[in-house]
Structures are given as structure tokens and as C-alpha cells.
Amino acid sequence: MEEPWRILEFYSGIGAMRYSLIKAGVRGEVVEAFDINDRANDVYEHNFGHRPFQGNIQILTAADLDKYRAHGWLLSPPCQPYTRQGLKKHSADARASSFIKILDLMPHMLQPPLLLFVENVVGFEISDTHKQLMEVLARLGFVTQEYILSPLQFGIPYSRPRYFCLAKRKPLSFQNSLSDNKLLWTPPCRTSESTIITETSQHAVENKEELQTVCEPIRSFLEKESLYSHQQEFVGVASEFRSEDVLADRAALEEIDTIETNTSQHGEEVKGSIKKQSFLHEYVVPLSLIERWGNAMDIVYPESKRCCCFTKSYYRYVKGTGSLLATSEKSKLKPEENPEISSGKEMFLRFFTPREVANLHSLPEDFDFPGHIGLRQRYALLGNSMSVAVVAPLLQYLFSEPT
């Protein structure tokens, strides 16, 4: 295609889809982004200089969508209607209504998109919303390829399996037509080794994905200066907390900003000490929580090569929301080499920082949050985001021409 692709980005969030487009090297222009979340739009605007359309998608008409003359649509609709922990109401869930409205509009457009990309949770592929998606795409002459992939398959030590639908409107076609109209668990570049997924084979997929690639250790994704803590200070801070005090006093952080720039050694020592204390107070896991939920926590080490998916409730809760990091000096060794560490108290557990979660989502180094976005909000926005390491190669494959 000679002219740049014109692209619409639905449910744009904090911009992971757009970062994926950039990383994929797609020659395209995002002509509009859509998201109803005010804070997500703040982050998107902060990083890209453009504020997404914040109105209700359901007010759009087919004519409105035609005006954009978009070749490609990228969509990451709300996942709550399809999650394993949710009510699984599928299309009956109000949060699915905007995506269903988009599907309803497509047949009435004069210029439907040529390319479509949909991301969602595992479970979407067996929903009635998925059935409707497939019916609309077939009616409009699309050919599809579907995948369930995790960052683990791309060398990232992060278990976050997700469903992806790639669709091209005929006469466009995929480079590997053998994968057409199939649901696969291997990335497109290795489709010759793929296995078709059935509803009952998800557990097998999650086991097999560990074998796909030797991942980098978690250490590579951590903020280096915060990897290990002084143990006595750590224990002191953790012991002070009650379970309801997980969000620590931000006074130390605010004090950093009030310290005048001082090039003297004393000034630097003061600021360094405050930063260390503020870090401990921000991210330490209180001993009271370890005593109560220790057996239910997913604990990882700097040398681990897998951590659990971070949800939007990470930092608010410790059970089932994401992994916690052991920062004891002994945790420099691999877990199986740590017979002396027998309890959570000795591991000096902390939460992953928002920057570290962003790193595991493969967001670029220059990705940043505006200052007014609070800590809980940062975790929530990241929990609703996606893996650039997975999405970028899929978009590169989708936008490429057959050879």
C-alpha cells in the first residue's frame, strides 16, 4: 500500500496498542483514538500529545465511522464480561455493549475497514460476543486468524495469555494462508508448529508456553537501585504497618520536592536517605499481610523466569492480583538454592513498582505517567493494558503484504 495506513484505535487505554504500532514499524497514522476513561486519556495525551475522543462509542453512527476513512481498526474491548473470575454474562454484560454496537455498525458502513485487530482475555473465544464477531466478519468478506499467546513465548518472564483476532478483508490475504480460520497457540512466525486450541485445551496451552522460549530473568526488568534493601530497615518498616496501611504516608515523597537543589554532599545524602525511606514505605508488603495471606501469595525472585499477570487490583490486594518480589540478599540465588529462606518474613517482600510492571508489559523507557496520576491509579491502568512484546509482531504480521 503506497499511502500510509489510516488507523482507528478503540479502547486506547494508556497507549500500549499505539506503542506496538510504533515498535512494529507499521507505516500508518492513528487518525483517532477512543476511550471513555479520563485518567487513561490523561496518560495517553501525556505520552502522545493527542487526547483520545472521550465520548460514548455507542453514540457513533456508521456515517461517523466512514468519515475517518480508516483502513485498519484496533480494538481492545472491556474484558470483564469474559473473565474466569467474573459472572461470564458475555454480551448480556453492559460493558460489552459498546463493542457490540461497533459490530452492528460495520455492515452499514460504505467503507468498512480492510484490517481488524481484536485483543481480549482467554475465554472471549467461547463467548457469544465472539460468535457475533465471527458472523459479522464472514458477512463482510474477512478472513481471520486467531491466536492465544503469552509474553512468555516472546522471552518476557510474564504469564499473561491473551486472545487475539487478526482479520483481513478480501482480496487482502495473510502471508501464511494455512492458518486461516484457525485458533492457534503459536505465534504466526512459527505457525508450522501450531496446535489448534479447543475449549478444553487451555491448561495444556499454559503448560506448553513455558517451553516456547528461554525467558530473561525478572532481574532484567527491575529498577536497579531498588533491587535489594537493607534488611534491618526493611523489617522495621514492614513491622510498623497494619494491613490497612499498605498505601503508605506520601509525606516523604512530597518532602523530596521541597528540598532545594543542593550540590553539597550533605544535601545529596539527605535526599538519598529520604528517597530510600519513601521507596520502602511505598512498596514494602506489611508483615500483617504476609502472616494472613502468605500461603496464597505468588512470590518470585530476581532470578525467576516467570511471574503472574498483574491485574488492576494489584497493590490494593495481595491475593490473586500479581506476583510479589523477594528482595532478601539470599534471593540473589535461584529459589531452589535458597533452603535458608523458609518464610515470607525472611524474604523481605515488596510490590513491583509501576515502572517495573510497565517494563514487563514491554512499554518503552520513555513511557511515563503525568504527576497527578496516583499510585493505585497507575497500577489499575497498567492492569488494563497489554503486552507490547506480543502485540507488536502480530500487528507487523497483520499489516504486511503476502510475499
Using alpha carbons, select from 160, 144, 164 the residue that is nearest to residue 152.
160
Q: What share of the chain is helix, strand, coil (3-state, %, to 5)?
A: 45, 15, 40
Q: What is the 3-state secondary structure (H, E, C) of 264-286?
A: CHHHHHHHHHHHHHHHHHHHECC
Under 8 Å between Cβ of 362 and 370:
no
How far is residue 272's CA from residue 280's CA, in Å, rounded to a whole number?
A: 13
Strands 28-34 and 115-121: unpaired
Under 8 Å between Cβ of 333 and 285:
no
Which of 79, 165, 307, 309 is catalytic? The answer is 79
Task: Based on the residue annotation, tell me whether 79 is a catalytic residue of this protein.
Answer: yes
Q: Which three cell numbers stand for residue 256?
A: 523530596
Count how many residues are written for the chain: 403
Using alpha carbons, select from 33, 133, 54 the residue that is nearest to residue 90.
133
Strands 162-169 and 115-121: antiparallel
Judge residue 263's burial from the number of C-beta atoms within 10 Å of its C-beta, 0-12 exposed, 13-18 middle, 19 or more buried: exposed
Longest CA span, the chain = 71
How far is residue 353's CA from residue 356's CA, in Å, rounded to a whole number?
A: 5
Judge residue 198's burial from the number of C-beta atoms within 10 Å of its C-beta, 0-12 exposed, 13-18 middle, 19 or more buried: exposed
In degrees, to the nearest 5, what angle opens at C-alpha 215 toward C-alphas 385 and 365? 45
In degrees, to the nearest 5, what angle opens at C-alpha 270 toward C-alphas 274 and 251? 30
CA atoms within 13 A on the CB side of 38: 2
Under 8 Å between Cβ of 140 and 107:
yes
For residue 140, list its beta bridge partners.
none
The residues annotated with a catalytic role in the active site are 79
